[in-house]
């Protein structure tokens, strides 16, 4: 089925509902902009939710191995995990996750290519787009569309200073 078929948000997120997950994400900076992935299903009216590329930690792998795997799945880029930057508690009425964000080093300068979540079929993909955002561009988006660790970022220095965020 084509990815343009509308699937209800509840159906898209069913695999993650009602459980606590550990997620890992990567923050890649190039030319003053941060690479983000748009996810569908988290907001009303099909609005995108922009978040650093990443995903679930799997049994048997290290956190850094999870970051390399997830970053490649979502962007096609080879990531080298850098400094640990953020610990964040993500919680909605149906989703709960502990998120670990790392700086990502990528020397290739290759362009990212939208990947996929192997856990989801083609018509249930959560990822819809990759884009580079400067802090100024992030501030122009509605705050609900921006991951909480990136809200109110005034400069890239704000992103790359280690912090802990709990709800």
pLDDT in tens, 24-58: 999 999 999 999 999 988 788 889 999 999 999 99
DSSP symbol at 149: G
- Biggest CA–CA distance in the chain, Å, is 42
Q: How far apart are CA 75 and CA 113, in angstroms?
A: 5
Task: Give the residue from 2, 18, 4 showing the smallest Cα distance to 92.
Answer: 18
**What's 20-165's CATH class?**
alpha beta
Going from N- to C-terminal start, the domains of the chain cover 20-165
pTM of model > 0.85: no
Query: 117 and 126 in contact (C-beta within 8 Å)?
Result: yes
Give the lowest-confidence range in 8-12, 67-71, 146-150. Answer: 8-12
């Amino acid at each position: 089925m084509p990815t343009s078929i509308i699937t209800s948000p509840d159906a898209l997120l069913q695999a993650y509902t009602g459980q606590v997950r550990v997620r890992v994400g990567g923050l890649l900076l190039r030319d003053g902009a941060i690479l983000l992935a748009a996810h569908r299903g988290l907001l009303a009216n099909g609005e995108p939710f922009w978040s650093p590329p990443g995903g679930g930690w799997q049994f048997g792998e290290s956190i850094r191995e999870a970051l390399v795997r997830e970053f490649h799945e979502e962007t096609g880029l080879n990531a080298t995990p850098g400094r640990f930057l953020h610990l964040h508690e993500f919680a909605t009425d149906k989703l709960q996750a502990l998120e670990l964000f790392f700086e990502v080093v990528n020397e290739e300068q290759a362009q990212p290519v939208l990947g996929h979540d192997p856990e989801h079929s083609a018509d249930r993909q959560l990822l819809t787009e990759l884009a580079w955002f400067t802090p100024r561009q992030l501030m122009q988006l509605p705050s609900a569309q921006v991951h909480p660790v990136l809200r109110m970022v005034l400069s890239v220095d704000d992103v790359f200073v280690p912090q802990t965020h709990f709800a």
